[in-house]
Amino acid sequence: MDRSQETFTKAQEVRSFLFLTAVMAPLLAVLIVAGYGFLVWIYQMFAGPPGPMGH
């Protein structure tokens, strides 16, 4: 394997790792939490807020 091609592959790997850890992981975490909150909000619109009935 050519030495310059090996270095290019390592640079791509580092760039991919940084993209996944700095962009995709936080974005995915925010989307999951926001999606869950949205689902709970929609559920409570139909089922009512939590707590004892009649109070």
Q: Domain residues for 16?
A: 1-46
Give me the pLDDT at residue 23, please: 97
- Does 30 fall in a domain? yes
- Does 54 fall in a domain? no
At position 5, the amino acid (one-letter code) is: Q
Percentage with pLDDT > 90 across the chain: 69
pTM for this one? 0.71
- Does 10 fall in a domain? yes
- Does 52 fall in a domain? no
- Does 40 fall in a domain? yes
Of residues 34 and 6, which shows the higher confidence score?
Answer: 34
The pair of structure tokens assigned to 10 is 């390592």
Q: What is the pLDDT of residues 34-49, one digit of tens each?
A: 999 999 999 999 998 8
Q: 3-state DSSP call for residue 52?
A: coil
Give me the pLDDT at residue 3, please: 65
Flag the least confident range among 15-19, 30-34, 41-45, 48-52. 48-52
